[in-house]
Structure 1
């Protein structure tokens, strides 16, 4: 019986580590950088402030990134992709 533990425990730990690596990668991609939030708060426009109040930081940062990328042309490109 103890022999099974010798083989099973390292295997379980390895699988758990691989799973957590995938979770960490997804979280790292979705994370908000501090400099982006600082820039948003310093250069906020009214529509971004409404989005921050009504929908949270994610939507406000989306609008801020759209504005930085090119404004109206970027918005129409995003609508076509959706």
Structure 2
């Protein structure tokens, strides 16, 4: 019985390490860099801060990037059901 444990333990440990590596890779892909957070906090509009409070950081960051792309290309800002009006008291 001990011999079986000696053989199986390293194999199971390696499989666990490989599984955790895959999990870490997926988490790293979805993480936000510190530079993006600092840029958002420095330059976010009222609408984007409201989106952060209501919808979470990924959606607010998407709005921020859309606004920056729109300002660079002089495109109109997207509006829709989830748009938060500026000037509203929050």
Q: Which residue of 2 aligns with 1:32?
A: 32
Whichever of the two has the greater Rg, that structure is: 2
Question: In proportion to residue count, which structure has more helix?
Answer: 1
For the residue of structure 1 that corresponds to 2:21, the secondary structure is helix
User: Structure with the greater relative contact order (CA < 8 A, sep ≥ 6): 1 or 2?
Assistant: 2
Please give the TM-score of this superposition, normalised by the length of structure 2.
0.71
Gaps of 5+ in 1: 76-82
Alignment RMSD (CA, Å): 1.8
For the residue of structure 2 that corresponds to 1:32, the secondary structure is coil
**4+ runs deviating over 3 angstroms:** none
What is the count of residue pairs matched by the alignment? 73
